[in-house]
Amino acid sequence: MPTNPVALITGGSRGLGRALAGALADGGWRVVVDGRDAARLAEAVRARPSLVAVAGDVTDPAHRRALVDAATGLGRLDLVVANASDLGPSPLPALAVAPLDAVRTAYETNVLAPLALAQLTLPALRASGGTWLAVSSDAAVEAYPGWGVYGPTKAALDHLTAVLGAEEPAIRAYAVDPGDMLTEMHQRAFPGEDISDRPRPELVAPAILRLLETRPPSGRYRAAVLASAAALAEAAR
């Protein structure tokens, strides 16, 4: 008898990671989530007791190993979502004055940790014909002043994911740009500004679920385009 699919989501204590974990859990998935703030992660799990929490920092090799062990210990692994991200300093600095220690931290979190996680999870994803999904940003492809710490890390993550898709035909590898959202990280990018007009992550998660359901070829996708395609498909019924 087939078991329910299993997902591993980094940065699952808040924002898009939490919204996506909840949506998958509601759909019958078994979901392992992590987060650096143990208290917030515990609160997220209390809201959805079916989630499995592993607190820690994704840049820590021992934590990554524990995270993967928790997921594969459920019997299989069908989806890995590299969602945990580091924005860098706030307010966003120009490249001319960007602190290099902060730049290193952003690359460690946004590029090196996802690569290390991919290396650990690829055997299980190959076995299940599963999906690798990296959460990207429009800052990966657009040159916005002040976004020179964060944006290039997401560009690197996009390309890493594209290469993964070319090298691993047994899986799907997606980079997904969710668009602007009403999250704490986005607020840090715009300190003191009102960002209440941005959509909540819970409104973005369904577009990503559609991507997982339809499983198009590996590549880079925008949540707004996926949502529009879903709306057109629904209208055509």
Residues involved in catalysis: 136, 150, 154
**Angle at CA 219, nearest 5°, toward 122 and 32?**
40
Segments of 18-135 assigned E as strands: 30-35, 52-55, 79-82, 131-135
Write down the residue that tokens 């600095």 correspond to. 93
Which of 118, 121, 37 has its CA nearest to residue 17?
Answer: 37
DSSP-assigned states of every residue in 156-172: HHHHHHHHHHHH-TTSE
- Other beta carbons less than 10 A from residue 58's beta carbon: 26
Cβ distance 34 to 55 under 8 Å? yes
Residue type, 130: G
Name, in order, each residue with C-beta under 8 angstroms of 36's C-beta and a sequence gap of 6 or more.
13, 55, 56, 57
Cβ distance 54 to 63 under 8 Å? yes
Could you give the count of Cα atoms lying within 13 Å of 194 in the half-sphere of its Cβ?
2
